[in-house]
Structure 1
């Protein structure tokens, strides 16, 4: 593989993850609006939220986040392996793998939540808040890695 191609591949994962962080924020926003739809006593607000199909959009965007998170995790590991012949096992890799597992667990709770299981709903929210917290930290450590790649070019 030409050196410029290998070097350029290093930036696909970070660009994808920053986009995914923004998409995750949107999924969070939709989740909050979906909760508002379930819990509000305001008939007009309920009608407006139901009309905008906020719950369905949360489900769809969340599904996309899950798929892209898993894809992005393996893409990052694959590019690292292609360019270096090994993975660097450290906090960034381990936290990324944990995030992929956590988001899969959170998505797996959807059928239980659809049946009204409150414990599953709380676990879903807790797991996803953990993912978002790790994601913000990952963004910072990822930029440190990108900077090292850029400087050592």
Structure 2
């Protein structure tokens, strides 16, 4: 028994991944801001640090990072799944490969957190570097993703 997905769902499902990824790009920029505030707090003098600690940047950064990790992994799987359902294959190209690399990078970045909490500076700098590269790739993915969306819309017309 084969499960047939209605064409309407197949067509419109192609827009879920791009929408989610644009939201995640915005959240990634917010996570960067929070991370910069944590660093500012860590390096501030005692009086300023007291005020900055009250803003709970660390907890918010950790929470946003957890959401980003989960949604990026699910968004990557979902994007690949929808592509396969609609085309019977994946298009192995720069967009897919960069997306897979980004998924690995965010997982590695998150895995460094326990080491950072113990004061490991190498883990901290690796976390920062991975996330800066991730943000750069995310911006590039946004451009190439919109090119893919344009091709999908042209096919629909």
Q: TM class by shorter-chain length?
A: over 0.9
TM-score by length of 1: 0.97
1:49 aligns with 2:35: no
Equivalent residue, structure 2, for 1:24: 28
Provide structure 1 residue ranges, at least 5 long, that are not aligned to the other structure.
Answer: none
Which blocks of at least 5 consecutive residues in structure 2 are unaligned?
Answer: none
Q: What per-residue deviation string (whole Å, max 9, x for no partner) do you get for residues 109-144 of structure 1?
A: 001100111111000000001100000000000000
Using structure 2 for the length normalisation, give the TM-score.
0.95
Deviations 1:20-44 (A, max 9, x none): 000111100000001111111151x
Tell me what 2:151 maps to. 148
TM-superposed deviation, 1:48: 2.1
- The one-character-per-residue Cα deviations of 1:60-88 (angstroms, maximum 9, x if unpaired) are 11111111110110010000011111100
2:120 match: 117
Partner of residue 3, structure 1: 7
The residue that corresponds to 1:36 in the other structure is 40
CA distance in 2, matches of 1:87, 1:93: 8
How far the C-alpha of 1:3 sits from its partner, in A, is 1.4
- Large movers: runs of 4+ above 3 Å: none
Aligned to 1:64: 67
Which residue number in structure 2 is paired with residue 108 of structure 1?
Answer: 111
Name whichever of 47-56 and 85-94 sits farther off: 47-56
The CA deviation at 1:100 is 0.2
**Secondary structure at the residue paired with 1:116?**
coil
Q: Distance in 2 between matches of 1:106 and 1:2?
A: 39
Provide the alpha-carbon RMSD of the alignment: 0.8
